[in-house]
Every structure is written in C-alpha cells, then in structure tokens.
Amino acid sequence: METHTFSNGADGPVVVGTDGSAGAAPAVLWAAEEAAARNRPLHIVHATGIDDWGGGLSSDAVRLILDAAPGLVDQAAKQATDRVPDLQVTTAVSQDSATVSLLQAAGEDGTIVVGSRGLGGFSALLLGSVGLRTAARAQGPVVVVRGAEQPSTGSVVAGVRDERDLDAVRFAATTAGHRKASLRLLSAWTYSQYAESMVPMVEAVREVAEAAATASARIVDSVREEFPDLSVTDDVVRVPSPAGALVEASAHADLLVVARKPRQPVGAALGRVTHAVLHHAHCPVAVIPR
C-alpha cells in the first residue's frame, strides 16, 4: 500500500469560531480541551461579516457591531481559560464572513472548530450554512461540535471505506493518542452501493464483503504500525445505512471522524454519509478532506 506523510492537522493550531451564542460555547470548550491536549494555543475568531454587506449597513450599525465584538471574544476566551486555566489564548475580530475568516485563520494545517448552531443572521455559525461551507472548503480538519456535553467514553470512532480514508484515520489515531483514548475503525457498507444488475447476488455480496474486509485490514495494519501504543479495534459490518451505523456508533464516542470527497460545490463536496452524520451524530464530528 502506498504511504505518505499526513499533514500535521492533528498537531497544528486550533481555531474556533464564536458568535456569542449558546451553541458556540460548547465549541469553545471542546476546542480549549483539544488545544491543551495538543499543547498548542487556542485562537478564537469572531466574524462580523460587515464586508459582505457592502454599503447595506449604516455607519451606526457598523459601529454597534464592532463595539460589541471585543466583548464576545473576551467572553469566549474566559470560557476557555475557565475550562483550561493555563491555556494560551489569542483572539481576533474579522469583518469578513465566518467561513472566510476561519479558513484564513487556520491556514493549511490548522483544525477549525465550530458549533452546530448559532444566533442566526450574518454572524451565525449555523451548521446549515457556515459549518457546511467550512467543512466543504477547508484544507484541514473541521470539527462540528454536536450533542450535549457528556462524560468521556475514552473512544474515538473513524468511519472507513478504503485506503483513501487513511488521512482521516491518522487524524483519528493522533487525536485518540492525545486524549489517551482507544480508536475504533468502523467500515459500514451496504450491498446496494456496489451491486450491478447482472452480477449474481450471492457471489457479489461475498466479493464485496471480502473487498471491504481486506481494505479495512490493510488500514488497521498501517495504523497499528504507525501508532503501536494505541488500542485499535476494527469492525466491518454490512448495514442498511452506513450513515445510520456511524450515527449509532457516535452515541458511544468522544469524537466521530469521517472523510469528505475532494472539493466540489457545497453539498456534493461532503457526500451523503458525511452530510448525514453532521446533522444527526450524538458527539462532535471531525471532517477530514481526502
């Protein structure tokens, strides 16, 4: 199997967006803990979106927005340092859109963290808008913090299809190592993904199952060689819905890691499975570009 060096997205800077909403607070706390686990500073960004409005905002409205912005990032910084007292935190206020601001702050090797919902309007970090656009366009990992905060399960789950997902698995393995967690690789497939109308059913199912198991085994061998101290388990399952299997697994995980397709228009870029788990997972979801 071809090997290559994974970019240091799992060890790079951690950037989190905030709009001051209740939905942003869990993202700030998750990002603070992740930055501490990586021994990296946390960078907090509030995007006002003023530039997107052009001349559509009055000078008084602009002034009110800019006057409120420092208080929002200071509040988020306090939330982070209350959770991790010795954490180094930097903040920034941008006049650009949330997606552009986060992508610029993260660069090529940073991890972006967003909440699953925000205030609404031009400063929101809504999963349906900013979260999806950022996950579709980022060069590195994007973590969407979903679900209520729960006690740690000590487990990271990575969805696996084939060797093209190896970067996502490496991110999951590195994150599990940082958090002293185990790693579960879940290869969930459905026959309808592969069936051809003229192929005998029994033979086709057997061949697809063998191919899935073989691909998963190669990935497991690679991960165990690269991360010898990490506890790794491997499950290859045939299910009615791969997305449903991943969502179910997320109920028992601290983080669910999935890969996305190479960059395409928003929506198509994420793929149906990734899109589904972003909306329904019970834990934070990390989306890693292939």
For 93-113, the pLDDT digits (tens) are: 999 999 999 999 999 889 999
Rg (CA), the chain: 20
Per-residue pLDDT reduced to its tens digit, 247-284: 999 999 999 999 987 655 544 567 888 888 988 999 99
* Amino acid of residue 284: P
Q: If you search the block for the tokens 């656009």, which residue do you land on? A: 133
Half-sphere exposure of 290 (CA within 13 A, CB side): 18
Q: Which residues are registered as beta bridge partners of 15?
A: 43, 112
Residue identified by tokens 């057997």 is 206
Instruction: Check whether 237 has a pLDDT greater than 70.
Output: yes
HEC-encoded secondary structure of 10-78 = HCCCEEEECCCCCCHHHHHHHHHHHHHHHCCCEEEEEECCHHHHCCCCCHHHHHHHHHHHHHHHHHHHH
Whether the CB-CB separation of 94 and 32 falls below 8 Å is answered with no
- What is the pLDDT confidence band of residue 119, given thresholds at 50, 70 and 90? very low
Check pLDDT > 70 for residue 189.
yes
Report helix, strand or coil for 80: helix
CA 187 to chain CA centroid, Å, is 18
